[in-house]
Every structure is written in C-alpha cells, then in structure tokens.
Amino acid sequence: MQVVNTIEALRLARRALLGRVGAVYTMGALHAGHIGLVNAARAENDSVLTTIFINPLQFKANEDFTRYPRDLDRDLAMFEAAGVDLVFTPTPELMYAPDFQTSVRVSRVSRGLEGKARPGHFRGVATVVAKLFNLTQPDITYFGQKDAQQVVVIRQMARDLNFPLEIVVMPTAREENNLAMSSRNAYLSPEQRHAAGIVPHAIKAAALEYEKGERRPIRLIAAVREVLAREPVARVDYVAINNPRDLRPIRKATEAPLLLSLAVQVGTPRLLDNALLPYALNNRADLTRLLGGSE
Ligand code: AMP
C-alpha cells in the first residue's frame, strides 16, 4: 500500500494504478462502515484508492473540526489490512492554498435537512469532493447510506459537472444495538450510547407502520417521534420524509419510495440516521438506484 501526501506524488501513483479504479473518501477514524465500502471496492475493481481528509470547509466555526477524532496510524493499518493500494492523506494547507477562492454549490438538494441545520456544510462537501474526484480520477466510487443527503448532493454535482464515474451506495453499517456507526459515536458516553439505541428503534417503528399500510407522511413521522419521546435525553432536531431522488418533502400519502431521515441530539453529540420505506429497499441495489448512479 502506497501512502502519498502531495499532489505530485498522488498524480504519479494514480497513473500507475492498473485497470478499473474504485475509490472511497473518508475523514478517517475508520470503523466497519468505512471498511465495508473498501471491501466492496476491493471485490469489484483492479485497484482501490482511498483518501483521509478532515475537510475544514464543511465544518462551521462552532463545530467539532478541531476535536474530530484523528488516528492516522490505526486508519492506515486498517486500510492496509483491507487491501487498499493507494491512500491520499493531504493537509488542509495542501487542499486550500491561501488564495483559494472557488467553491461548488449544489442548490436545491442541499437546501433542506442537514443543509438547513448546517448552513454552508454541503458547499464544503461538494467543493472537496469535486477536488478529490479531479485528483483521484476514479471509475467507481462508494458512499454510505448513512449520509444519504450527502450522496444525493454529490450525485447531482457529478451529473451537473460531468464527472465520468459511478456512485454506489452501501447500506448503513450498524452497531450491536443497531445504532448507525459513525466516527462521532466516539463522543458518546456509555449512557448516551445506550440512549442512542432509541434512534434505530424509532425508524423501525415507522417501518412497521408502513408495513401495516400507513402511507401518510405525517403519521409515519408521528410514529418516529412517539418512540423518541420515550428517551428523555434525546432531543429531536428534525424528522422528515422526502422523495429519495430529489429530496423534495413529501406530504401526501404515496406508494412511491420514501426517504425517512432524522437528526437527534443525545447530550452534545448529534446523531443522524435514515431509511428508505418500504424497509426492504435498504439494500445496495435499490439504494444505488435511488440515491446513487452515474452521469
Ligand atoms: P466519513 O469519514 O464520516 O466522512 O465517511 C466516509 C464515507 O463512509 C461516507 O461515504 C459515509 O457515508 C460512509 N459511512 C460513514 N458511516 C457509515 C456507516 N455506518 N455505514 C456505511 N457507510 C458509512
């Protein structure tokens, strides 16, 4: 496995990669969710490229950029064990020169949900991913369902700017209590981690209502909120139902697939989770069809 941290070394090493290249982009502090993406890339491509970069542009001033967990040696060992060929680990100074002045703004799909909760976040995400796509030139990229809006924003950008690549969406990897894995789960105390189990539980409650025939978004959202209300330390930020393709809010009962998303604060940490309804759609093929795809 080759590890590079300059643009020149990356370009040289990228040119030397053979055949079809699969890529996974991360902020490090790796967990089984990240490695699941790498395993898929490894199984399906001649070469696997990954990046580790905590992108300052996507954090607001009061967010956790400086506290975000960092452990490069452990991350590299995990990538090596998973069979990665090339890792790019740039510094913020390398990615953003002092006179940096370009950004990528994906308008409509960035507006709601996390975009509303974190103004400017998706502009930071789209800008860094455009740079990483240009730098790494992948044939196929692997993203996680965990950040469903992020992948919709990136797909829109890839289409609008003609990046010649495919976007695969892998189902959310979960802890034993079904909590969605996240590098930020490291911030949870044992009690908060236990309380956080309410989030997947609430999603399951809505999935069950859906299965029983409920199609009214307002009722499905109420089912989620009812379960969350049982956990006193959980503070709901939003529970929303959107069209998974364009993220428009859905208000009327429909048989079309729904994206149920929620953000819940448990103590300081903010937890995100989502699911497609009907629940059987939460598999790689359907997730990729609805949230991912190609140009
Ligand atoms: P991050 O390091 O959090 O920026 O995530 C890097 C990639 O891993 C993104 O495509 C995420 O959506 C994906 N990812 C993060 N957590 C999970 C998870 N629990 N299951 C599957 N993919 C994930």
Atom of ligand 1 nearest to the CA of 181: 19
Atom of ligand 1 nearest to the CA of 142: 10
Query: What is the pLDDT at residue 268?
Result: 85
- Provide the annotated active-site residues: 34
Q: How far is the CA of 193 from the centre of ligand 1 (A)?
A: 18
Q: How far is the CA of 51 from the centre of ligand 1 (A)?
A: 12
Query: What is the pLDDT at residue 295?
Result: 74
Assign 236 to helix, strand or coil.
Answer: strand
Nearest CA to ligand 1 atom 17: 33
- Whether 173 lines ligand 1, by a CB cut-off of 6 Å, is yes
Q: Of 254, 261, 259, 251, which is closest to residue 290 (Cα–Cα)?
A: 259
The tens place of each residue's pLDDT in the chain, 295 residues long, gives: 999 999 999 999 999 999 999 999 999 999 999 999 999 999 999 999 999 999 999 999 889 999 999 999 999 999 999 999 999 999 999 999 999 999 999 999 999 999 999 999 999 999 999 999 999 999 999 999 999 999 999 999 999 999 999 999 999 999 999 999 999 999 999 999 999 999 999 999 999 999 999 999 999 999 999 999 999 999 999 999 999 999 999 999 999 999 999 999 998 889 999 999 999 999 999 999 999 998 7
- Whether 172 lines ligand 1, by a CB cut-off of 6 Å, is yes
Nearest CA to ligand 1 atom 13: 144
Query: What is the pLDDT at residue 228?
Result: 98
- Whether 180 lines ligand 1, by a CB cut-off of 6 Å, is yes
Q: What are phi and psi of 88, to 5 degrees?
A: -110, 120
Atom of ligand 1 nearest to the CA of 150: 12
- Whether 58 lines ligand 1, by a CB cut-off of 6 Å, is no
Annotate 171-194 with DSSP letters as a single string: PPPB-TT-PBP-GGGGG--HHHHH
Q: How far apart are CA 33 and CA 20, in angstroms?
A: 23
In which order are the strands placed within the sheet that holds 2-4? Answer: 2-4, 86-88, 47-52, 21-26, 140-144, 166-170, 293-294
Query: What is the pLDDT at residue 275?
Result: 98
Q: Of 96, 98, 150, which is closest to residue 126 (Cα–Cα)?
A: 150
Q: How far apart are CA 294 and CA 166, in angstroms?
A: 4
Q: How far apart, in Å, do the first and last CA atoms of the chain sit?
A: 30
Q: For 161, what's the count of Cα atoms within 13 Å in the CB-facing half-sphere?
A: 19
Q: For a substitution probing ligand 1, which of 55, 72, 121, 147 has the most ligand atoms within 8 Å of its CB?
A: 147
Query: What is the pLDDT at residue 107?
Result: 98
- Whether 147 lines ligand 1, by a CB cut-off of 6 Å, is yes
73: CB partners within 8 A, 6+ apart: none
Q: How far is the CA of 97 from the centre of ligand 1 (A)?
A: 27
Instruction: Quickly count: other Cβ atoms within 10 Å of residue 204's Cβ.
Output: 16
Model pTM above 0.95: yes
